[in-house]
Amino acid sequence: MDNENGTPKKKSYTFFMVLVILLLIVIAITSVINTYYLFSINFKLSLLPKMDFSGIQNSLKEIGDSLDIGVLDMFK
């Protein structure tokens, strides 16, 4: 009787161990795939031309300087 009761417990234990191992393998594979995609996106972004915002900042500053109105001037 002890043998019959002990055998199914061992089978269920090995079944759950196989499930845990398969789950860990799936997590490892998806982590590798996600890392590959992140690196490929980063590489594609590095190939884009560099944006230079200094010209835009200077033109906005010139527009702001030309529209420089004091708060008291608005109520005259």
What's the pLDDT score for residue 20?
95
Share of the chain above pLDDT 70, in %: 63
The 10s digit of each residue's pLDDT in 24-59 is 999 999 999 999 888 888 777 777 777 666 777 777
CA within 13 Å, CB half, 11: 6
DSSP 18-35: HHHHHHHHHHHHHHHHHH
Domain spans in the chain, listed from the N-terminal domain onward: 2-74
Average pLDDT of the chain, as a whole number: 76
Whole-model pTM: value is 0.47
pLDDT of residue 33: 93
User: E-strand spans in 21-75?
Assistant: none
